[in-house]
Amino acid sequence: MNGKVALVTGGSRGIGAATAVRLAREGADVALTYVSGKEGAEDVVRAVEALGRRGLALRADSADPEEAGGAVQHAVEALGGLDILVNNVGVGLLAPLESLSLADVDRVLAVNVRGVFLASQAAASRMERGGRIITVGTCMTQRVPGPGGTLYATSKSALIGLTKALARELGDRGITANIVHPGPIDTDMNPADGPYAPGQAAMTALGRFGAAGEVASVVTYLAGAEAAYITGAEFAVDGGYAA
Q: Is the residue at 146 inside a domain?
A: yes
Is residue 119, in this structure, part of any structural domain at all?
A: yes
Instruction: Choose among 8, 42, 40: nearest CA to 24.
Output: 8
Question: In the annotation, is 196 catalytic?
Answer: no
Domain of residue 93, CATH code = 3.40.50.720
Q: Where are the beta strands (DSSP E) in the chain?
A: 5-8, 29-34, 55-59, 84-87, 132-136, 176-182, 185-186, 210-211, 234-237
* Domain-embedded: residue 243: no
Round to whole Å and give the CA distance between 155 and 138: 10
Q: Is residue 153 part of a domain?
A: yes
Q: Note the pLDDT tens digit of each residue in 190-243.
A: 999 999 899 999 999 999 999 999 999 999 999 999 999 999 999 999 999 999
Is 150 a domain residue?
Answer: yes
Domain that holds residue 163: 5-237
- Residue 173: its H or E element: none
pTM for this model (two decimals): 0.96
Question: pLDDT digit string (tens) for 88-122?
Answer: 999 988 899 999 999 999 999 999 999 999 999 99
Cα-based torsion angle of the residue sequence 221, 223, 226, 228 in order, rounded to the nearest 10 degrees: 140
Angle at Cα 40 formed by Cα 34 and Cα 41, nearest 5°? 45
Tell whether 177 is covered by a domain.
yes
Evaluate whether residue 242 is within a structural domain: no
pLDDT value, residue 28: 98
Number of domains in the chain: 1
* Residue 146 confidence class, pLDDT cut points 50, 70, 90: confident
One of 152, 196, 221, 229 is an active-site residue; which one? 152
